[in-house]
Amino acid sequence: MINVIFADDHQLAVEGLSFFLSSVGNINVQTIVTNGNDVAPALEKHNPDILILDMGLPGRHGLEVLHDIKSKKHKTKVVVLTGLDEPSLLKDAVLTGANAVLTKAADTDEILTAINTVHGGDIYLGKFVQKTLETAYPDLKWDNAPISLTKREKEILLMIADGNNSAQISTDLNIAEPTVRKHRQNLMEKLGLHNSAEITKYVLSRGLNS
């Protein structure tokens, strides 16, 4: 059984989606909250597997809620389901660590796919979201394929996130500095990241340093 909480102030629409998901058989909708300030208490009380989160919440914006969940390394996975489709907002949701990002233009089958995909441990980007991000940010990597890093790449990724430069990493790992720079280039290309700040945000949002 997948335990789910909704955080969305469009109550009629959410109740309809909640009824559909509950009828599927493997999803239990525990509660619906309509204010961003109520999300943390609901997570504490119900400890759900998945939070389905709108961005335009009263009280606290969805991005603030998402950031708090990820920074505190809460086990609950977050499916962003938003009526807002600005590319910058969708990008921020992905980079802040949302496990799935969809707009409310998605049909119920796609929402169900996203929930099951996230519960299985993978990332999901809605079709509209992926197309929007690819158009707005063509230089970044926007797809649902799992990203595979080598053991050395992940080691260097974590060291960069800890504030180490290439020379320090070279010394600590006893490898040549040009080799470090090559690994850094490869992992940044794989992840669609451009600098140390983005690497740090990526590592923290996904709890890779835990």
Encoded amino acid at 20, one letter: F
CB atoms within 10 A of CB 170: 17
Poorest-confidence range of 49-63, 167-181, 188-202?
188-202
Domain count, the chain: 2
> Distance between the two ends of the chain, CA-based, in angstroms?
27
Which of 113, 136, 159 is the last residue before a domain boundary? Answer: 136
Q: What CATH number is attached to the domain comprising 184? A: 1.10.10.10
Do the domain assignments include residue 143?
A: no
Strand partners, 124: 100
- If one compares 143 and 47, the residue with the highest pLDDT of the two is 47
Which of 136, 165, 186 is the last residue before a domain boundary? Answer: 136
Q: What's the domain range around 196?
A: 151-205
Confidence of residue 195 (pLDDT cuts 50, 70, 90): confident
- If one compares 152 and 191, the residue with the highest pLDDT of the two is 152
Q: What CATH number is attached to the domain comprising 130? A: 3.40.50.2300
- If one compares 142 and 179, the residue with the highest pLDDT of the two is 179
Task: Output the pLDDT for position 148.
Answer: 58
104, 108, 107, 101: which is closest to 129 by C-alpha?
101
178 and 106 share one domain: no
62 and 165 share one domain: no
pTM of the predicted protein model: 0.71
* Mean pLDDT computed over every residue of the chain: 87
130 and 156 share one domain: no
Which of 80, 108, 136 is the last residue before a domain boundary? Answer: 136
21 and 44 share one domain: yes
Q: 92-151: per-residue pLDDT in tens?
A: 898 888 999 999 999 999 999 999 988 888 888 898 998 898 888 876 666 654 455 677
